[in-house]
Amino acid sequence: AYAFDAYGTLFDVHSAIARHRPALGPEAEAFSALWRAKQLEYSWTRTLMGRYADFWTLTQEALDFALARYPAIPRDLRQPLLEAYAQLSAFADVAPTLKRLAAAERRLCIFTNGTKAMAKSAAVSAGIVPAFETIVSVDEIRKFKTDPAAYALLHQALGLALGEVALVSSNRWDIAGAAAFGMPASHN
């Protein structure tokens, strides 16, 4: 089976900004990078502290941080940016890759720090829902990746033993977490 990380692997986290680039102005890329960096930082910090908040909450908190850091960006873009984040675009290579794996009769799932609702919304908007058997969200255990419990949850949800699920992720920290757990993993 192949477990695909959602954000940054299947879905372009910067596509939310792309939809509003003219209104964001010349700081759009830096703003987007800060939003993503804070989102991840908050997930790691909360896991280390044992003070979980779901990924949608962290996404909003990270956006608020970025808006405070970039005062030239209009605050009235907050809601449209959040709505765009709920409907992220898939990367161009996602659909052909999923089609090839389905033809090879591989089991596929989305494995995400996001809530199931977040991942499903993005997958629906990207038109890739039918490719996946399920969505496995760390929200169930209230600990984000790279906590070993997240990777254990994935195996439990799929009913597969260690070594039978490979992680595909664009996030090196996620690959490191999976490898430390004993999973085969590849950086796409």
Contact present, 157 and 131 (Cβ < 8 Å): no
φ, ψ of residue 70 to 5 degrees: the values are: -120, 80
Nearest to 104, CA basis, from 1, 180, 11, 174: 1
**Catalytic status, residue 93:** no
Q: Please give the pLDDT value at position 4.
A: 97
Q: Please give the pLDDT value at position 188.
A: 57
pLDDT tens digits, one per residue of 107-154: 999 999 999 999 999 999 999 999 999 999 999 999 999 999 999 999
Q: Please give the pLDDT value at position 187.
A: 66
3-state helix, strand, coil in the chain (%, to 5): 55, 10, 30
The maximal CA–CA distance of the chain, rounded, in angstroms, is 51
pLDDT tens digits, one per residue of 21-47: 999 999 999 999 999 999 999 999 999
pLDDT class of 185 with cuts at 50, 70, 90: confident
Catalytic: which of 5, 139, 147, 174? 5
pLDDT tens digits, one per residue of 44-74: 999 999 999 999 999 999 999 999 999 999 9
How far is 17 from 97, CA to CA, in rounded Å?
Answer: 25
The mean pLDDT of 160-175, rounded to a whole number, is 95
Is residue 63 classed as helix, strand or coil in its secondary structure?
helix
| Mean of per-residue pLDDT scores for the chain | 95
